[in-house]
Structure 1
């Protein structure tokens, strides 16, 4: 039963990741007139590992959006990179205190 649950969660996570890669940096949604802002920076930071893998197969996909708003995009990007890779972990379990 536990194995089925793990496989189901893995499948759902993979499906979610594949469906959300439609918003990777370099996909043409952001231009000089409409640069990526803070929230796009957060999003691009969260999906940076996926963007890296996709970038191996599609030449125009990058980890970082070149058409961005500057400092605010950078701030969002770095916040997401730091929090997504160990700074803030949603999967950490708290140790139970023994009395």
Structure 2
């Protein structure tokens, strides 16, 4: 069991990391036409192929600057939907594998 000094050091380190992380900002870029919900939806759908392409090409999977919450909501929704589309062909095989009796 760690002593009180180790616990205090861990707590101090955690608090320091949270405080410094809370100060981190990105530079504001003034643009009129930032990606919104539907762009986020599209970017979420193509996130996996874009991630693979980013290994060899200079592409990003997330738009910056964006409109904030609505872009992020669309991105998350598109990503979840894209993963679901990839899982649909596999589901019958998983179900048959799990319910098979020997």
**TM-score of the aligned structures, taking structure 2 as reference length:** 0.51
In structure 2, the partner of 1:69 is: 67
In structure 2, the partner of 1:32 is: 31
Contact 1:45 1:80 in 2 (8 A): yes
Shift of 1:89: 5.8
Contact 1:83 1:89 in 2 (8 A): no
CA RMSD, 1 decimal: 2.6
Structure 2 gap segments, 5+ residues each: 1-29, 93-102
Counterpart Cα distance in 1 of 2:72 and 2:87:
21
Counterpart Cα distance in 1 of 2:62 and 2:77:
14
In structure 1, the partner of 2:51 is: 52
Counterpart Cα distance in 2 of 1:58 and 1:87:
25
**TM-score of the aligned structures, taking structure 1 as reference length:** 0.52
Shift of 1:46: 0.3
Counterpart Cα distance in 2 of 1:35 and 1:52:
21
Please tell me whether Structure 1 or Structure 2 has the larger radius of gyration of its CA atoms: 2
Structure 1 gap segments, 5+ residues each: 1-30, 94-99
User: Which aligned segments of 4 or more residues in structure 1 are displaced greater than 3 angstroms?
Assistant: 87-93
